[in-house]
Structure 1
Amino acid sequence: MDEQQATKRAEEIIHQAVDGMSPKPTLKRTGLAPVGACVADDHSAGERQQVALSYQLTGVPGTEARKLVRQARDAWVKRGYKFQGSDADWSDPFPSVSMRTVPDDFWMSALTGVVDKAKGEGLAAITVTSPCFAANSSSTADPASFRQTATDEQAERRARDHSSRLYDALQVRHAPAREGEGLATYQDGEGTYAHHAWSTGLLPEDAMAQALARAQAHFESRGWTLQRVSTATGVPALLARNADDGSMAQLAPSTDGTLRVAVTTPTVPPRSASI
C-alpha cells in the first residue's frame, strides 16, 4: 500500500458510512495534514507513514448527531467490519463507536461531540486511520522541510499546558529529550501549529496499560474526543482532540518500551466547538 491507495481506501470507508445517511450531512475536513508519520514508530523516524482522515458531519440539526453515528455503525456492520471492543452505549445521548475493517485493518470511529448538553445537541464526526505503510520519495514529506514560523506564544502556552496536565495524569517519569522532541512552531498547508513532544522512560507492559488508562480517564473527564489507532506493539495508541481550542494529543506506545507523547495546538483556535 502507498499513500494514494491508503487515502482512496479511507475515503471509501467514510463514504460507505455517509452516503446513505438521512438527513444528508455535508463533510467538513478537520485536523492536520492527512498524511503523517506512523504513530507506532519513533518520533524521528520516517520510514513509515499512515493516512488519517477526519470529517465533521455538518449541515444537519444538532439533535440528529446521535442518529448519524448509529447510521455509520450500521453501514459498517453491514459490510462485515468489526468492533474495537464493544458496541456503543446507545442509551448515551452522545455515543461513540470504534471499528476496524477486515481484512485490511483500517481503524475508524464515529462519535458525537457535545454542542449543547442541555438541549441534547451534538456534532457527529468520522475518522478513518490507515495501517502504517512504507514511505517513498514521491509521497514522503520530510518533517525537517516544514517552514518554521515566528513563535506564537499563546499557542505554545496552550500546548505546554495540555502537555503538563497530561504528564501529571500519566504519573510516569519522562525521559531526556530525543532528537525531534521539545517545543516548536511549524507551518503546513492547513495553518500554523505549536507542537510539544516528549517521551516517557521505559515502561513494563502493565505500567504502559495503566498509564494509557489514566490518560484516557483524563481526556474523558475534560471532554476530549478519543480514537484508538493500531500500533506495531499490539497496544493501541490514543489520539485525542480538544473541541475548545483544536488541540490534538497523541500517545503512541513505541517498540522500544517508551510512550511517545505529542500535543499539537493551532495558533488560531476554531471559531466554534468542533471534533
Structure 2
Amino acid sequence: MDQQQATERAEEIIRQAVDGMSPKPTLKRTGLAPVGACVADDHSAGERQQVALSYQLTGVPGSEAKKLVRQARDAWVKRGYEFQGSDGDWSDPFPSVSMRTVPDDFWMTALTGVVDKAKGEGLAAISVTSPCFAADGSGGSGGSATAEPSAFRGTAPDEPAERRARDHSSRLYDALRVRHAAPREGEGLATYRDDTGAYAHHAWSTEPLTEQAMVRAVAGARAHFEGLGWRVRQLPGTTGVPGLAARNATDGTVVRLAPASDGVLRVAVATPVADPGVRVA
C-alpha cells in the first residue's frame, strides 16, 4: 500500500458511513495533515507513514448526532466490518463506536461530542486511520518496535520535559473520567535514553474497569486527543478492547493507552527532552 491507495481507501470508508445518512450532514475536516509518521513507530526515524482522516458532521441539529453515529455503525456493519470490543452503548445520549475493516485493517471511530449536555445535543464525528505503510511505497514493514522503558538507560532528570509529560497526563486523566490506581512497580515519572534520544516517561494505571467503561474511556481519550489536533492511531490489544496511540506534532509527545487483562487501562506518556546533550547517569 502507498499513500494514494491509503487515502482513497480511507475516503471510501468515510463515504460508506455518510452517503446514506438522514439528515444529510456536511463534512468538516479536523485534525492535522492527513499523512504523517506512523504513530506506532514513535521512536523510529520515520520509515513508515499512515493516513488519518477526521471529520465533524455539521449542518444538522445537535439532537441528531446520536442518530448519525448509529447510522455510520449500521453502514459499516452491513459491509462486514468488525467491532473493536463491544458495540456502542445506545442508551447513552452521546455514544461512540470503534470498528475495523476486514481484511485490510483500517480503523475507524464514530463518536458524539457533547455540545449541550442538558438538552442532549451533540456533534457527531468520524475518523479513519490506515495501517502503517512504508514511506517509499515499497510495502516493507520499516519502523522499529518500541521497547519497554526498563530496556532503556536512566538519565539525569529533565524538569521541563517531565513537567510537559505530567501536564499531558493530567489533562488526559480529566478526559478519561475514571479513577487512577495506586502506583505499580515500574510506574511513575522518570527520564530515559535509548538509541534515538532522551525523553521523560510518565506511566500510570486506572482502577479496574468493566468492558463498557473501558470502551468509553478509550473513546473519550480519542476525542480528547483529536480535539487537540493530535494524530491518533488505534492499536491491537491483548483484550477485546483496542489500545490507542496519540502523537503531539508540536512537542513530539507520544501517549499510549493499553487495556490490560486485569481490567485496568495502562497509560504511558513519553515526552522528548529538548536538549539532545542530556548527560547519561
TM-score norm. by structure 2 comes to 0.62
Shift in Å at residue 70 of structure 1? 0.6
Q: How big is each residue's C-alpha offset from its partner over 1:220-260, in whole Å with a ceiling of 9 and x where there is no partner?
A: 59x8478761259999432579xxxxxx974267xxxx976
**Separation in structure 2 between the aligned mates of residue 72 and residue 100 of structure 1, nearest angstrom:** 13
Is the CA contact (8 Å cut-off) linking 1:237 and 1:250 kept in structure 2?
no
Q: Which residue of 1 aligns with 2:169?
A: 163
After TM superposition, the structure 1 stretch with the greater mean CA deviation from structure 2, 6-15 or 46-55, is 46-55
**Separation in structure 2 between the aligned mates of residue 169 and residue 259 of structure 1, nearest angstrom:** 10
Shift in Å at residue 131 of structure 1? 0.8
Q: Which residue of 1 aligns with 2:269?
A: 261
Is the CA contact (8 Å cut-off) linking 1:40 and 1:232 kept in structure 2?
no
Shift in Å at residue 199 of structure 1? 3.5
Give 2:105's aligned amino acid.
D
Say which SS state the counterpart of residue 40 (structure 1) adopts.
Answer: helix
Percent identical: 71
Say which SS state the counterpart of residue 176 (structure 1) adopts.
Answer: strand
Is the CA contact (8 Å cut-off) linking 2:165 and 2:201 kept in structure 1?
no
For the pair 1:115 / 2:115, whether they are aligned, the reply is: yes
Shift in Å at residue 110 of structure 1? 0.4
Stretches of structure 2 that go unaligned for 5 or more consecutive residues are: 139-162, 174-178, 227-231, 248-252, 259-265, 272-281
1:44/1:200 CA distance change after superposition, 3 Å: farther
Shift in Å at residue 176 of structure 1? 2.1
Q: CA RMSD in A?
A: 4.2
Q: Aligned match of 1:173 in 188, 194, 198? A: 188
Give 2:168's aligned amino acid.
H
Say which SS state the counterpart of residue 16 (structure 2) adopts.
Answer: helix
Is the CA contact (8 Å cut-off) linking 2:237 and 2:243 kept in structure 1?
no
Is the CA contact (8 Å cut-off) linking 1:39 and 1:252 kept in structure 2?
no
Is the CA contact (8 Å cut-off) linking 1:82 and 1:102 kept in structure 2?
yes
TM-score norm. by structure 1 comes to 0.63
Shift in Å at residue 137 of structure 1? 8.2
Q: Aligned match of 2:235 in 221, 230, 239? A: 230
Give 2:45's aligned amino acid.
A
Shift in Å at residue 135 of structure 1? 1.2
